[in-house]
Amino acid sequence: MGDTPAFEHAVRVGWADCDPAQIAYTGRLPLFALESIDAWWQHALGGYSGWYYLETELGFGTPFVNLSMDFRAPVTPRHPLMCEVYPTRLGTKSISFAVKGRQDGVLCFEGSFTNVFTQAASVSTREPPPEIRAIIEPLIRA
Amino acid sequence: MGDTPAFEHAVRVGWADCDPAQIAYTGRLPLFALESIDAWWQHALGGYSGWYYLETELGFGTPFVNLSMDFRAPVTPRHPLMCEVYPTRLGTKSISFAVKGRQDGVLCFEGSFTNVFTQAASVSTREPPPEIRAIIEPLIRA
Amino acid sequence: MGDTPAFEHAVRVGWADCDPAQIAYTGRLPLFALESIDAWWQHALGGYSGWYYLETELGFGTPFVNLSMDFRAPVTPRHPLMCEVYPTRLGTKSISFAVKGRQDGVLCFEGSFTNVFTQAASVSTREPPPEIRAIIEPLIRA
Amino acid sequence: MGDTPAFEHAVRVGWADCDPAQIAYTGRLPLFALESIDAWWQHALGGYSGWYYLETELGFGTPFVNLSMDFRAPVTPRHPLMCEVYPTRLGTKSISFAVKGRQDGVLCFEGSFTNVFTQAASVSTREPPPEIRAIIEPLIRA
């Protein structure tokens, strides 16, 4: 993809997200990252809200099997949190994403996330539909 | 204010917000309403994120003393949730807001919310600063 | 019910629940109250987790149509939050609850909550099953 | 520590935690793990709620620099979620924890978490107080 900018999802960070240390509570950051992956699906596939659309309209789910995050700088309400999302690998039955959260140009966290493809409303893994694979493959970055 | 449109805050509703009934969990709806009031302060005063700015930069807080909400229709990820917010009353030491949440033109919930003005980092009530009163008064609606 | 103590649900309040004012964020309090009503159902009916059991095993749901809460004193991590729950009214298709949250004997919030009975996975209202009515009726308080 | 059982924290999983796939939403699981580490501090040090006590009474904080979680089996409201927590390493300015979440004896997730010690209300790292080190060291497991 060369230097094409990847997808970014903006998160509003507010008082509600902050703990007594006056920064966003650590437990909110995986939620922000996941919301950004959800928004990536919406961006990639169109339709409405990501996983909800996949599950209720397209008949498959993508449960998480792993997540790993490094926290680099505090997240605060002073700036929007820009979450860059891109897929890093598409296996036969799994997909991995990178998410990088930045505020005012500063990297606040980065993480990797792996999901498996399943039949909707089940835990049976499956291959993603070919048309979904065709959409995702050109978006993969190292 | 006649028919001047009031402030609206858009909330992205996603899979994360939904419960097994496939609609946004009731407990999320007060959070959406509160976030919208927080965004209203940001809109009215400028600066960054609402209550955080009030507390850390302007030296006062607005804790809640009451909230009441009626739920009219389910909230889903199919549309953005547009939350209209306007103050309905400004007392000597309190302020009340109305919030109306709509999706695709349908009223999903409406509520009333009352806060008192306090010194930052305390529970002592106080009057709002005159310059804040001057900003809020023209925005009040019945 | 005379002076029979009503059901109480204990909530652990932690750092995660607190905002920069060092008290539980207002938006968490409806969540605590709702969790306590969920726990009341589990207490009243047995089985596991309240609404989940109702919906998946008993075939009915109880969506909220209204909630109203008054906030009397800050909630902090210094004590467990004891939430007293009791039904105040059982109509033909609805039920109302009172919830009172206390810490160390001090009333922190109180609220009223009304749900309608519906068919599971639908918005069609219905009467509650007679055996459920028989369990609830003796628990009602003014 | 041989086979001394480590600390376990019980989490109530309810309807509020579940998504439309009828299992606890992935984004809730880091919150459950963090709450369990917070409870571990309370267990280890006494006093009240963990991080809040550390920050407001003992004068130090423990912000996260990393978390990594593997998800093994779905978490549901059918059983309490028992979260085993133990420290795996105590460095000069950091501490690492393992958390294992189980329901009805089945491992649902496991993760590792690393915090640094800081001065309360700051980002300056520091060594933990010697009396805290003395409490933690005997609790470390491989």
Say what the pLDDT of residue D47 is. 77
Is D12 an interface residue toward C (CB < 8 Å)? yes
Closest chain B CA to residue C53: B20
Count Cβ–Cβ pairs < 8 Å, chain B vs chain D: 22
- A 10 A CB-CB count for D62 gives 21
Chain D interface, mutation test: which of A70, A115, A117, A119, most D Cβ atoms within 10 Å?
A: A70
User: How many other β-carbons are positioned within 10 Å of the β-carbon of residue A42?
Assistant: 21
Q: Report how far residue D76's alpha carbon sits from residue D19's, in angstroms, rounded to the nearest whole number.
A: 10
ipTM: 0.94
Q: Phi, psi (5° rounding) for residue D10?
A: -90, 130
**Chain C residue with minimum CA distance to A23:** C20
A38 touches chain B (CB under 8 A): yes
* Chain B residues touching C56 at Cβ < 8 A: 20
Test mutation, D13, D25, D29, chain B, max B CBs within 10 A: D25
Instruction: Number of A to B CB contacts under 8 A, please give it.
Output: 68
pLDDT band, residue A51 (cuts 50/70/90)? very high
- Of the ranges A72-76, A78-82, B116-120, which one carries the lowest mean pLDDT score? B116-120
Asked if B18 lies within 8 A of D15 by C-beta distance, the reply is: no
Q: Phi/psi class of residue D56: alpha, beta or left (left: φ > 0; alpha: ψ in -120 to 50)?
A: alpha
Find the angle CA(B2)-CA(B4)-CA(B7) to the nearest 5 degrees. 130
Tell me, yes or no, if C49 comes closer than 8 A to chain D by beta carbon: yes
Nearest CA in chain A to B121: A20
Residues 6+ apart with CB under 8 A from C5: none
What is the model's pLDDT at position C123? 78
The 3-state secondary structure of chain C reads CCCCCCEEEEECCCHHHECCCCCECCCHHHHHHHHHHHHHHHHHHCCCCCHHHHHHHHCEECCEEEEEEEECCCCCCCCCEEEEEEEEEECCCEEEEEEEEEECCEEEEEEEEEEECEECCCCCECCCCHHHHHHHHHHCCC
Tell the residue number behind the tokens 């291959």, with chain if given. Answer: A127
Mean pLDDT of the B6-26 span: 96
Amino acid residing at C33: A
* Chain B residues touching residue C31 (CB < 8 angstroms): 27, 31
- The answer to whether residue A2 scores a pLDDT higher than 70 is no
Mean confidence (pLDDT) of chain A: 93
Chain B closest CA to D17's CA: distance in Å? 7
List CB contacts (< 8 A) between A32 and chain D: none
Q: With beta carbons less than 8 A apart as the criterion, state whether D126 and D110 touch.
A: no
Q: Does C71 touch chain D (CB under 8 A)?
A: no
Closest CA to C21 of B58, B28, A16: A16
Q: What is the least distance, in Å, from the CA of C14 to any CA of chain A?
A: 10
Q: What is the pLDDT of residues D83-101, one digit of tens each?
A: 999 999 999 999 999 999 9
Q: Nearest to residue B64, comparing CAs of B95, B25, B42?
A: B95
Task: Provide the b/e sequence for D89-109 (b: ≥16 CB within 10 Å).
Answer: ebeeebbbbbbbbbbeeeebb
Nearest-CA residue of chain D relative to B20? D20
State percent of chain B over pLDDT 90: 85
At D52, give phi and psi (nearest 5°): -65, -40
Give the number of beta-carbon pairs within 8 Å between A and D: 64
pLDDT, position A4: 56
- Burial label for B139, CB within 10 Å (0-12, 13-18, 19+), is middle
At B9 the pLDDT is 97
Q: Does A63 touch chain D (CB under 8 A)?
A: yes
Nearest to B136 by CA among B91, B69, B82, B83: B91
Of the partner residues D20, D31, D63, the one whose CB lies closest to the CB of residue A27: D31
Place of tokens 């938006």: C27
Domains of chain C: 7-139 (3.10.129.10)
Q: Are B37 and B113 in contact (CB under 8 A)?
A: yes
Measure CB to CB from residue A65 to each of D52, D64, D70 and give the nearest one.
Answer: D70
C122 has pLDDT over 90: no
Helix (H) or strand (E) holding D114: strand D106-116
